[in-house]
Structure 1
């Protein structure tokens, strides 16, 4: 996914502005006087965010060690990513400036904005990052519902040598049980199986109703 707008609470200089936070960039640096640093992206359209990959700054010994992530659909109200217990999640970031670290969210989050708030860092607030996820139209639709297969017919008793029994849903069929083994049978065209007479009969006299 490619963000359309990058913003941050501050930047150290022109070379390390928010757009430099892409994995191939030099990295974003907050201004040293920034007491509440953050960087955020705007995708313009809704996306499903599933996690984040972070890196330290390129070619220099600075990185973010822990951070929080917030999401928003409007850019006005922000919701922290929480763990399965409903606690704001503190993610473990990087331990050097080059190794990527993946952090997955507990589930897919539908959002437009994603904000990363560094909590602790090495030397200076610096990072490169990318959001993991996909656009809504990239999620495959759920499979169509399938009609459940009716349970196989079970003969009433294995002790009974033979017996004829009506089909549970189709009046034109019946089961022949032989020592506990059921075999599905079909009446001749135009006839229904009579549960009472145990024979195929005319529909008006068979007394069978399909369900």
Structure 2
């Protein structure tokens, strides 16, 4: 796991990680939500969408609607500078299922959303996986600052299924407190 800190003159710190969802001080399961979920099986829930998750034989988030508009989202502890998304398909050996393309949107309040867009203001369609095991890292041309990040599956192999994480940084004050939780 890649994690580092940078000291600021004011005594605060910036914490950066490739695994802001699942790494050290990652988000709670309740902060992972989705537009839909296949059945009510625990192993299809948003909490099973963590990169490298192997909590069950079929660990991954699985959407039950196949319209190209289904999403999974994460609410971070605080405003976060986001630089990349990492995607992986379903762990299950007999199911070659994964997202092949996706959009990214973000929000500061969970109500108003913006698409990660190109210079000409068109939403960027990111290439996803070509198999279920390989991790694909999609680095943004420009970082975004948000409290929420949403991944919307556009195309897929088998089912809209994924495991993911997010890379980026967040600030922590000198006394270890930030907006909603303590780190140091």
TM-score by length of 2: 0.70
Give the CA deviation at 1:87.
2.0
Q: Distance in 2 between matches of 1:80 and 1:35?
A: 15
Contact 2:68 2:152 in 1 (8 A): no
Once the two structures are TM-superposed, the CA of residue 33 in structure 1 deviates from its matched residue by: 6.1
1:4-58 Cα offsets, whole Å, 9 max, x none, are 3010011113211001000132110011466631100001311110010100011
Structure 1 residue 119 corresponds to structure 2 residue 143: no
Match of 2:170 among 135, 138, 141: 135
Distance in 2 of aligned mates of 1:71 and 1:121: 22
The alignment covers a number of residue pairs equal to 138
Deviation >4 Å, runs of 4+: 32-35
**Unmatched 5+ residue regions in structure 2?**
1-19, 21-25, 54-58, 174-184
**Pair 1:7 & 2:7 matched:** no
TM-score when normalising by structure 1: 0.62
Question: In 1, distance between residues paired with 2:66 and 2:166?
Answer: 27
Give the Cα separation in 2 of the matches to 1:110 and 1:57: 29
Aligned equivalents of 2:27 and 2:75: distance in 1? 6
In structure 1, the gaps of 5 or more residues are 139-211
RMSD: 1.7
Mapped contact 2:36–2:65 kept (Cα < 8 A): no
SS of equivalent to 2:64: coil
Of structures 1 and 2, the one with the larger relative CO (CA 8 A, separation 6+) is 2
Offset at residue 88 of structure 1 (A): 1.0
Aligned equivalent of 1:38, options 52, 71, 85: 71
SS of structure 2 residue aligned to 1:15: helix
Secondary structure at the aligned position of 1:68 is classed as strand
The aligned counterpart of 2:15 is none
Q: CA deviation at 1:107?
A: 1.3
Aligned partner of 2:81 in structure 1 is 48
**Structure 1 residues 33, 87: CA separation in 2 closer, same or farther (over 3 Å shift)?**
closer
Residues 33 and 54 of structure 1: CA distance in aligned 2, closer, same or farther (over 3 Å): closer
Structure of higher CA gyration radius: 1
Provide Cα deviations, 1:41-81, integer angstroms capped at 9, x if missing partner: 00131111001010001123100000000000000000100
Deviations 1:154-180 (A, max 9, x none): xxxxxxxxxxxxxxxxxxxxxxxxxxx
Query: Which residue of 2 is the match for residue 147 of structure 1?
Result: none
Correspondence for 1:81:
116
Aligned to 1:102: 137
